[in-house]
Structure 1
Amino acid sequence: MGESPDAPLVPRPRLVERLSAGVLGPLTVVIGPPGAGKSALLTQWVHTGTAPGPVARVTCDDAPEPPGLFWARVTRALGAAGVAVPDGDAVPGGERPGPTCDGLATAARLAEVLAARRVPVVLVLDGFRAGAGAPCAAGVAYLLAHAGRALRLVVAARGDPPLHLHRHRLAGDLTELRTGALAFDDRETAELLALHGITLPRRAVASLRERTEGWAAGLRLAALALARQPDPERYAMRFSGTDDAVVGYLVEELLDGQPAEVRRLLLMTSILDRVNAPLAAAVAGDRAGRRFAVVAGEHASLEACGQGWYRYHRMIGEALRRRLLEEHPGQIAALHRRAAAWLGDNGPLSGAVGHALAADDRPYAHRLIVHHLAIGQILGLTATRLPHTATGSASSAVDGSPETALVTAASTLSHGDMTACATVLTQAECLLAGTATPADHATQARLHLTHAVIRTQLERLRDPVAAPAAAAEAQRLFALLPREAQADHPELRALIQLVRGGAELRRGRLTAAESALTTGLRAAGTAGNGALRRDFLVELALLEGLRGRFRAAAELAATAQRPPLPASAPGDPSHAALQMVRAWTGPSHNGTSPAGNGAPPAGDNGAARQPAVALSRRELDVLAQLARTMATDEIAAELQLSVNTVKTHLKSVYRKLSVSRRTAAVRRARELGLLPHLT
């Protein structure tokens, strides 16, 4: 489909240029799954006439073949390209290419001929397939190593050819065009559709390209189907790898003819978003795990992600999963359970939870969430969220496990239903009271900490007066965790410190409040939660207002409202405090003490210091260089400013942060979390 030389070709000058540059060196590889457009690209490039010499092209049909036949075709192609290749009998010790020879003597003879040439010759092996140690592979590697600079080898294949690519990569004489480079962009997608008489709106073209990941065969199959659709745009927006034509094509091209063990491995691991050898072994068996690295190298449908991890091309994965469903429907839940168990021990948690849900094992998903103290991802305290289907309705918690009750309570709270949360949380308390076993102390500790965190968030939203007691219990339990576990969950520390700091602030204990709020602000920054950072900044603004520092309060409030932090809404816990700060710091006050607002500034029994402020973009740039311990003249050179301008910015930074030294300025900015890129 994507490889047919008779199909209309979309001009791809960006890739043709890369090929033209690549053949100036000894080895170029074009690696992609079936239908990636490898042969079509080679055809385009050959027709440009930009090769540094004659081109000998051998089409291997993506199938292994006897070395005698392979080398006979290589010899004929070189001869047709004008390379004077002598007959095998004319060379002492030579061999005439035939079905029974291993080809090494022929490779040596060709290497000698090519090494004597002054004009380069390009040998294209299109669809080359040979396993490591195979005679054809050994012969090609020998030819490449001994033919000298006159040979420019181009290999197009569905997986890495066994030609010592790492060695050539380190030497800098390898050009690689892989699946990502071969993918069509939006312009090329639109041109391909136009060749089939189809015109779509730009957004539909972009959606189709994204859904196919620019896979040439997928786009051609979509184009053929679009021509028959009454609503082409809608079809393009929904096209996927489960389409009958896609599944049929990939079964024929990718699965048919594979050994049964390889076919099984591809089908079973297709349920995984990312896969490595240990995970493949856990899902498909130890033998499959041992074969995984070899199979991944031979199949470009598995794209390398680094550090031994791979992912399936989106449409290929979808097609394989549909085929798995058709052939082995009774095994799918078990495969997902195995994946969930492995990922539960090795991560990532989101993958483990997702596979537990795919296996329809919600109780296990809930146990994973509580065991990993990931309730913050349900409550929205982190930058990332777990799959929302990990949660259930309030009724599902009745007579369930304490983990299910806790996760359900957190889910209902994250959706704004405080009444349901309180009801389910009470159920969780009853379940916790009946599950205490001394032998499972660690599990009990995590269950009770999860309960305390949910209670803290609930009371923060519902009853601020009751929130400090819940936060104190959460703090006590959080402190019992190992340091590594505490560091892994900055969102829990942030929530606890936000409630504690707010309580101290409202009691007039400003020094204790500042300590809790600045500690929590750093934790919120580490957790990547904009809403928590906003709330901390508002509390710090209120603190500064109580100290009578209305300019600092105004700057903090402005920072709290500045994107990318989310805007404060009337239902947010910090909204009332923000409105109070705005009232204090309005234009009519001119930075002086407010009068008649019912909240006069409070005294402070500790050292007074102005916390965070809003720094300008240039001041942030200067501070960033300052954190790198650069001298003033070095900062000026780096930012292309005058030394005097840098000094002016530094004075402004010191004034806004209420410090007098460079190290203090950097430390203060880090404490307040206003420069997360420096933390």
Structure 2
Amino acid sequence: MAEDAQLHPSGDPLLAAKFAVPAVPPAFVARQRLLDRLAEGARGPLTVITGPAGAGKTTLAASWREADLAPGPVVWLTVESDDNAPGVFWAYVLGAFRYHRVPLPDGVGSPSSADNVDHSLIVRLAGALAQLPEPVVLVLDGLEHAGGHGIAAELDFVLAHAGPSLRLVLIGRVDPALPLHRYRAEARVCEIRGSELAFTPRETAQLLRCHGLTPSRESVGVLTERTQGWAAGLRLCALAMQRAEDAEHFAQSFAASQNAVSDYLTAEVLAAQPAATQDLLVRTSILSHVHPGLADALTGRDDGARILGGLVRDNAFVEPIGDTSWYRCHPLFAEVLRAHLRSRSPALAAPLHREAACWLGAHDRLTDAIEHAAAADDWPYAAGLLVDRLATGRLLTGPEGPRLERLFSSMPDGLPGTAPALAAAACALARGDAAAGRKHLAGARPGRDAAPEVLLTRALLGLLTGADTGTGSTAPRTPAPAGGGDGRTPPTEGWDPDRGTPDPDRATPDPDREVRALMDRVDRALLTRHPEIEALRRYGRGRALLAAGHGSEARKAFAAALAAAADEQTWTVRYHCLGALALSEAVDGLLREAEAHARDGLKAAEEHGIPLDRRTARCHLALAAVAADRGDLAGAGRYLAAARAHATAHDVPAAAEAAVLRSRLELAHGRATAALSALDDVPVSADGPARAGGEAAGRIAVARCSVHLARGDPAAALAALGEAPTGGPAVAVATAAARLAAGDAEPARRLLAGLPGGERVPPAVRVRAQLLEARSAAVEGDTARAVPLVAAAVRTARPHGLRAPFTEAGPWLRHLLARAPGLADAGAWLTGRSADAEKRSGRGTATRSGPEDAAAGAPLLVEQLSPRERDVLRCAAQTMSTDEIAAELFLSVNTVKTHLKSVYRKLSVSRRSEAVRRARDIGLL
């Protein structure tokens, strides 16, 4: 195989070792009986090879692969103890397929986090394997290391749904956690146990001859009996006999217990080496993989390459890793070496770990370096590495994030210094606890002469947590509130009806400008290696703008962050950007955009395996808001219930929006008291709800105002608005509504007249403002002025499908629609019917004919289609047969028929062609 094919796609030679098929040792005995058993087992779906350490399990499978006896290409993965998290395990499985050049479709995706894997990825992998043109053998060596977290259940699912295309060979010391009883009952498993792996006397004699020995029959019998055919013990004995003056005597005195092996490795292998070799072996025992340069650093000499090469040539339980410069010890020998270090030189371990951390850090193996620094309990150095290398972003997003967070979770609290405080702040932010992040940041006080990497890290974390880093930026702050919030004048921040909207650049938060300035001071090559910094900066800027009430500018920042989040290091940023963008758009009434981004966010969570405890409720909340604004209260309730599964106490803005939505649903069902109670359930962070920004707190105040107005209490409504810490157009319109309800028409008109023009006011607020003006005119009996205002509100709302402001407007609007001929088309749209189509068909279920109607969502549906029903409908639109749909979606034919019947019922049609046409008309396809 070409040299470039030996490396993992990341270029890491140590990762390549996980995928490479282990080499068959030179003194190898090809045991045909076992090769035949393995070849027979690989004709079925599952083969299990179990036995104790050193029983020859891996060597058997490797020799079978080398003999080309497999029914198809062999994909090999060596599972290690660090691979016991689902995301890590399945990422390595997918990497093994790429390494062995077994192509899988790009759409399979991959996990982005260690902690969890979405089931949809497992489904896609099984489907991809089922489509392979020939069988593929997946060998998982050491599966007992990944026995928890449901990995076995996921393997069972893949094996069951991949069909005959997948042949699974599991190697381990214990039985895998698969339902072997079921496979046995169905005669679908081949099991090769330790008793079968044991050497027979004939095979023992052959092994000894391979080592250049000519043992007697008696020696062969004694060795086989005392080792019970244990392959590792026999090989140890053969190596010892090569060095012994009396090979026959040694063979007959050898005892194959674990203690004897350890004693032998210590006395006959380690002690037999020169002093320099012993010193190198013991000192490098802290490492899982050894590089000659690293060995030199730990010994203080320059003979690492010579000694390691000599150990390999002497078969002294050290082997090279592929075609790389790295080596590893035999596991049994490595355990003996570590025990020797613990018992003979316990004080040496910490300095060795510290030296290893320095060498690995200097050779760009940052996470490994931090791991050894943590093992040395040198947290200032570990945190310093994280900060100085500009790697805090990797803790927040990317595949290495969970491992780094686990390492720093052991760091004691309250360590002095800037770097530990910054590392602690980053860990808190990774958990979603911005309040804790701000507290840790308060303890990070770098001096004016601190390195730009340190200052940049602090400024970036400050931007992401919403902390005031106090770095002295010259950027102007957002203007202070112009109103007192007492109901007489709308409380505002950055907006005043007499001054208009300020320049958005003047509203840019200070930390963002500081981050940009510091990025210019950092070495360009280092910044290029960390694309997550720019993505996080843009995302943090969007959050700051959103908290300050600048929704439009925030969305531009989130869109820019999406453009910057283009690789695996930034998947998490991309997911959170989509959630924040969707919820902001939903709040402002941009329903089409909100729905698209929310669904993209949910899809990204599945494809990239975002762990369930790291997901945000914002995508589901956005869909709930979209459904509520389109008049689909049942759908809004379902999405709101789904959002609760991902709700966290740390995400105060999302919690506030969830409370607003619950209140709206309660109020829509006439339960005003419950609607007010829902607004009291917002979890309060350590900084209070106002810390979430004026937008969230303003939303709560406006929602309370709406409930009080529905109860006929304008005074309470005005008092609720006085609690809003900030203002803006939404609060101004709510204040106007309360003033109008209180009979103060003139102040209400002034507030509405002072609203900015154009796109400065979101569609949802603009529609409510237009309806308020229309109501004021209708109350005064000025129908001529009210009708065009309602028509204008419909024109504003219709492209977005905004129906809720009209249904919540009150009886005056229904009366106006009933008696004003000029509003016939508006009335037809609000009821979900096209006037022209109704004339043609004479029915109330007419199709839409214009793009504005298509954009309005699907208000004609009594019940929304489920995701699986949408999948079936999309396949039907491609003229697939029922059998083809079943195969495409991995469903039974009867299940497909059931879904089709449900689709017909929900779309009010009776045939497939009608369902497809109807779905296209209302924008489902």
User: What is the TM-score with the length of structure 1 in the denominator?
Assistant: 0.49
Which structure has the bigger radius of gyration? 2
